[in-house]
Amino acid sequence: MIIELEKILKVLSDKNRIRIIKLLEKQKLCVCELAFILAIKQPSVSRHLKKLKSVGIIAEEQDSFWTNYVLCVKGNKYFMSLLRYLSAWLKEDGQIRQDLKKLRQVDRAKLCCK
């Protein structure tokens, strides 16, 4: 059990992965959308997603052309607790607020179909 918690804490030790978690808490997103919101390159986003997926925090859903990423909170008691704390701790964080503002403006069709 402690090994599972350690793995989750290590994965959450990166600010971009925390930002991804906070975005996926609101809705499912594809790599293009996350790259746009986070203002980092797609390969970097993919690496972060791979790490989050490796500990069972996120999952993939295929939606015709797109692969969407979603949070997996059910069945992971450590992550469920941490997610509650993250929400409380980051409620007023400027970066998270900016990310959520960009989330409302993101247009998948314009980003991903270039």
pLDDT tens-digit profile, the chain (114 residues) = 788 889 999 999 999 999 999 999 999 999 999 999 999 999 999 999 999 999 999 999 998 888 999 999 777 788 888 898 998 899 899 999 999 999 999 988 888 765
Q: Tally the domains of the chain.
A: 1
CA distances from 106 to 13, 18, 23, 96, 111 (A): 26, 19, 12, 15, 8
Residue pair 54/11 in contact (Cβ under 8 Å)? The answer is yes
Q: Assess if residue 88 is contained within a domain.
A: yes
Residue 2: predicted pLDDT: 87
Q: Assess if residue 112 is contained within a domain.
A: no
Q: Assess if residue 110 is contained within a domain.
A: no
Residue 58's domain spans which residues?
2-103
Residue 35: predicted pLDDT: 96
Q: Assess if residue 72 is contained within a domain.
A: yes
Q: Assess if residue 113 is contained within a domain.
A: no
> CATH code at 9?
1.10.10.10
Q: Under 8 Å CB-to-CB from 43, ≥6 apart: which residues?
A: none
Q: Assess if residue 111 is contained within a domain.
A: no
Q: Assess if residue 95 is contained within a domain.
A: yes
Q: Assess if residue 55 is contained within a domain.
A: yes
Q: Which of 70, 40, 37 is nearest to 52 (CA)?
A: 70
Residue 58: predicted pLDDT: 95
